[in-house]
Amino acid sequence: MKIRRIVKKDLRLFKRDKKNIVLIVLVPILVISILALIFGQSTASKSISGSGLGLCNLDDAELGEESNLFKFKEIFGEDCDERVPNLVTKGQLKAAVIVPERFQNNIEEGKGSELILYVDNSKYQTALVITDSVKAMVQDINEKVGTKFIENAWLRLRELNNRLKLIISHLETAKTNAEKLQKRADEINKNLDKLNEKELDLQLNNLNQSILNISLPQNINLSSEIDNDIVNLNNILSNECPNNLPQQECNIINESIFNLNRVKSNLRNNEIKINNLLKSTNTTALSQQISIIKKSKAEIKRDIINLNNSIYNYTNNIITIANELNKTSEFLDVYTNKDPKNIVRAVTLKIKNVFGNRTYFEFLAPGLILTMLLFTTLLIVSSNIVEERKKGTLARTLLSPTRIPTLIFAKNLYFLILCLIEIIAMLIIAVLFGVSLDITLGSIIILVLAAINFIAIGLFIGSVSTSENTALLTSLVITLPMFFLSNQFFPLDIMPGFIKSLGSIMPLTLSIHNLDRLIIYGTEINVNQIMLLIIYPLIISFFSYLMIKRKPTSN
């Protein structure tokens, strides 16, 4: 009953003070709406789009299409490279690019060139996005230059490849002719081998021997024997005819003597002719010709062997060169058929967002709701407690039969109702801006635990502060570090170890982490972190109890 009475009293006082309604409802709605308009883009980088990029083009070179993150603002004048640093330093431009003279010519001549980017690094996120975007633009220029260079090289290599193929065809013809020549040389060599030198020598020796035999006197002079026969026949004819022999036989003997004389005469004539022929026959010249033939044969065979070896080596060299040229031609065919873009940009990055096309604000919404809840709760609770302590309302309540724990519990319940109203208002605004929030029992528990933690901190601040200004400053001292260490906008992973450990156990960080696990990642909550969210308000409430007991008024 006492708790309900205290809560009703506080709610009536809340309704009377219009600024509380503004602080609880309108301020969170306004802040969430502004942040939704800022971050309600498809990506974080687009939320800072529209940055102007100065361009000092001393070469009139084409830098490609403008980035969707910035638009070129050309700076005219020959001294624009001197004015650019001052324009960026004065904040008139977020960044500016200087294109030097002979930029295009140096690229075409293979000397390379350099773009100079002046960037306002006082705005870190804008500078980071512009720098990355300009790097991407330069990468695109490099890719186009490299692609053009490779395309020209490919064109020349294709021409060279066509010439190589022509040379290969000529080499094939030369190889065929060489093989034919080698085959013909082998045939000539075989024909020369068929020329039997020993047989020629044997025939020559036989010829010489025959000539020698014919030319001997005992073989050539046959007329003496015929003369003897004629003498014998004449003796027979004179002694026997016609007395002893018949006339017919005598006639035969006379005829024989006549024939022998005629034969003798013919034989003498033939003998003279043979002797004359033998005298005219010269085997020495024939022997010399045979010697020349032998020598020529040996020389021809040696030359044919050398020619054959040369043709063999030549053919092998042709085959080797043709094979190498074929391989080279095949490699050229393979490489020149490749797309130059795939060589310049061998590795491409295909980004697949695991959460699809959800907007950046959808990921920020849970954390933004808890952050706004932290700021408003600490300010309202701390200022309310300070006001009651200054007016003596808190002391009068404690003089009635109400204990401090009951008062603290009633205050927690009252402020929890206000927090729930604020949470509902912010959830409605988030849904109106297209945020899909899967509100479950677990997410409600985390929101309630976060509110209880913030209320406990606000009660403690109000119990130790002597004025509203002190409470406000103390609230800022606590809320700002909790905000920066909440892992919402600044990742804890890049922070020093001590700061990272401190930030990971703060109530706001624990609440955002577990709410993200439920709403965004669809995983289970961290039980240990939930236990911390339960323990924190108990400990803080205990210290608030001690401070209120010690000094229930601000005087």
3-state secondary structure of 268: helix
Q: Which amino acid is at 64?
A: G
Q: Tell me which residue of 514, 402, 512, 415 sits closest to 460, measured CA to CA.
A: 415
Q: Are 383 and 471 in contact (CB under 8 A)?
A: yes
Q: Tell me which residue of 474, 138, 155 sits closest to 336, measured CA to CA.
A: 155
**Residue entry with tokens 């300009």:** 134
Beta bridge partners of 99: 57
CA distance 324 to 91: 64
pLDDT digits (tens, 9 = 90+) for 224-241: 666 776 776 667 666 667
Give residue limits of the domains in the chain: 2-42+358-550, 50-120, 196-305
Q: Are 458 and 415 in contact (CB under 8 A)?
A: yes
Residue 446 predicted with pLDDT over 50 = yes
C-alpha torsion sign, points 142, 145, 148, 152? negative
C-alpha torsion sign, points 274, 280, 281, 283? positive
Top-ranked range on mean pLDDT: pick from 51-65, 79-93, 235-249, 348-362: 79-93
- Which stretch of 241-255, 472-486, 492-506 has the lowest confidence by average pLDDT? 241-255
Average pLDDT over residues 482-505: 86
For the chain, how many residues are written?
555
- Tell me the chain's radius of gyration from C-alpha atoms: 63
CA distance 241 to 221: 32
CA 457 to each of CA 155, 245, 446: distance values in angstroms, whole numbers, following the listed order: 74, 190, 17
pLDDT digits (tens, 9 = 90+) for 278-329: 565 555 666 666 677 667 667 776 777 777 777 777 677 777 777 777 777 7
Residues 6+ apart with CB under 8 A from 114: 100
CA distance 508 to 336: 60
